Structure 1
């Protein structure tokens, strides 16, 4: 029975019409490994099955993604084929009758490349990868494997008023490193100012963002990409001295709504590229942090203060999309994210 099923899968792949793939992104990069030439050479795989780009991360992460997206085929088909059909270009094939060996069908020459161990697979992926600019990568939808999905079963509306807003670059100086990487500082600043019933001007925001970054570098040696834990401990509690805040891990989308209904602000770390905000410098920040201040159950939208754009005040995101984008990251400059953690900082008003 197993061999019959494998034979049917193989036959379906071989006879599948050319147009079965690429429904979301009909471009020439389907099936390729892409290397971001403008951003540390990060590697992405455009999976032909859904035409979305998957971030490959570390060797073990890349190998896991390749295995999860692979298709099982018969041993004779893999071993006996030198040039594969066009419709299989860019796919990962698993030898289901042997030990599950994985092969990448390189779209350019249609030949198979044995992926071997994670480190070997990662090396081959990068050797066969082609460079892409951030602007062109922004045209390709991104996806991740293993994230929990949002189940919206909470119909409670919530909105927190009088939350001051600032962009992380209050006067548009995005070339400044502190401001370019200041989403955590800006988010904490907005939340603490609200908690203390204080207003915030652009000039005050700029001064505070720079001061926070200087303080972080002096005290902790790093101000970029602070994790949710360090944003809470270092900035909210350490710099501002605001103790009415907690970190909650492994949250559901309804946990966010519950905290908003209690009158608390929520700060979440994000993969900003999943949000597809047209106001971001494309393709968006892979490490970002925003403030959530409300929820509309009729439209199923979160209401946010997003410091990543000057148009971020009261910016609305689809609730399921925002939850999908939540992803904590380690402190440091573009450190590798080796697991998906959905965490949030809950900020309450000052006593």
Structure 2
């Protein structure tokens, strides 16, 4: 049941955003901003991971580096200090790129493609977590070639997010595995997705006390970890739909780093900003004309990056929606504070 107040929904605005030059030549899989500077890592189906430098003053971006996988690159992330980029791909390998030396090296290996990769900010040991279609979750100490820990998953890893100490892994068949990174080898909680259809994306709350999950059915679930909270405040809502007839996948969810509000983006080519606490949509934007496949905020939430491209939601040779009509692109949206700041619920001051 939708818990958002439809009486408070604002009108949509047409996005007028900057397109980064020389984007990937095939489908973009993930965007990830550096936690310390405005550098954007981009993984894509053309087997490359690219790094762009974004200049907020001039509203422009330029390519700074790229490194290859031996197959499509499916995910990317940064180290806490912004000195390393990590990525995983269909070549079953996890790789690390050193921004200082410009060198890339393999740091992880699975028996199937690596769909998700995250830096584990333990504060002591440099560890990277990888989630794969081989139904395992592995932890890698960058100082050793073998995984320090391997955990079996109930199904293929589809989506993963981590805000220490919380890590949420969503797999095929709607399984959701929750881990406390202070005890990473043991499942803290296992459940089914609150949504009825296949999971597409998951994102941890900034406070690491819950997560948002999105599916192919145009619906998002807001889930709190505490059982008491779960009974009183967890809910699901509909989005990325046209008159509730045409239903689109929710491909990406990103939380604003300062305000704790969040974005959703979908196969309908729209993105929206939401406030989960007051249960309001804060801002909506009209469709860009093709699916949005990945999103991310920069470190202070002043830039919202989103990637456009075909997400195969209408199949392989869908006549009215083919890859020839869609250009892979990355857009930078200048975030207005009033569009992402939390608001009081209706009737409250």
Measured against the shorter chain, the TM-score band is under 0.3
Larger Rg: 1
**Which has more helix, going by share of residues?**
1
- Tell me the TM-score normalized by structure 2: 0.25
- Tell me the TM-score normalized by structure 1: 0.25
Instruction: Select the structure with the greater relative contact order (CA < 8 A; seq sep ≥ 6).
Output: 1
**Which has more strand, going by share of residues?**
2
